[in-house]
Amino acid sequence: SDLCSSLHLQSEIVRDESSSGLLDCVREGVARLLGVGAPHSRRLLPLRCLLLPAALHAILRYAVATSIQRVVLWLHQRSKKQRAEPSNPLDAYFPELAASWAGSLVADVVLFPLETVLHRLALQGTRTIIDATDGVVAVGNGGSPLVVPVNTQYDGFSDCLHAISRKEGGAGFYRGFGVLVAQYALHGALLAAARTLMRVLLLDAKAS
């Protein structure tokens, strides 16, 4: 049954793409936002069902990120007083940047399961196909990754939450987590490189 529904959804995607116009994405977005018009899929959830979870995610992310940022800045100020080091021009900018990086990292890691649920609900019923990121490869396609349609049928936020937990376990909430790790690793490396460059430039300026 899953294969039949998958093939049916793929045929719908191809048919919709052949008849889609340039402004169809705008028209469908406005129709979904206002809850008017006939959606192309009955699995497409209206945006009003996502407003409360999205607002909760935004509020929690701001609260967690701000709290971590304040803690990191407080620890930095405390260690600075204990060391009694001379004033450093780098301390005017980089501690806040590092604290903001740490706050965003902790908030995104903690709230990643909630963000996963929101993404799945937002994509459900849309004409979206994704690469199979869980190691599934096509046998007759030279071992290349499969492209699979978004074929979920969640009734809402709580149904999606329980379905992921029941069918995929806790790991299901952290699919795609490696991308987040790579993003913050790159961000942290850029901050460290910028701080090292600024330190070298300041030393050269003092030496001259």
Q: How far apart are CA 182 and CA 28, in angstroms?
A: 33
- 8-state DSSP, 147: E
Distance CA 43, CA 35 (A): 14
- The per-residue pLDDT of the chain, averaged, comes to 76
Residue 164, pLDDT above cutoff 70: yes
What are the pLDDT digits (tens) for 119-145? 888 888 776 666 555 544 444 445 544
pLDDT at 194: 87
pLDDT score of 152: 74
Of 149 and 45, the structure prediction assigns the larger pLDDT to 45
Task: Report CA-CA distances (Å) from 86 to 91, 193, 203.
Answer: 10, 22, 14
Q: Which of 13-17, 53-57, 86-90, 130-134 has the lowest mean pLDDT?
A: 13-17
pLDDT over 90 percentage in the chain: 31
SS3 category, 191: helix
Identify the pLDDT of residue 123.
82
Q: What percent of the chain has pLDDT over 70?
A: 63
pLDDT band of residue 49 (cuts 50, 70, 90) is confident
What is the C-alpha to C-alpha distance for residues 117 and 60, in angstroms, rounded to an integer? 15
pLDDT digits (tens, 9 = 90+) for 70-84: 999 999 888 877 665
Which is more confidently placed, 125 or 168? 168
Bigger pLDDT: 97 or 91? 97
Q: Report the interhelical angle of 48-83 vs 112-123 (nearest 10°).
A: 150
Least confident of 14-18, 63-67, 93-97, 194-198: 14-18
Determine the Cα–Cα distance for residues 98 and 73; give it in Å rounded to an integer: 9
Give the list of residues 6+ apart from residue 47 with CB closer than 8 angstroms, or none.
32, 33, 35
pLDDT of res. 198: 82
Angle at 60 between CA 59 and CA 63, to 5 degrees: 85
- Global pTM? 0.71
The pLDDT assigned to 61 comes to 96
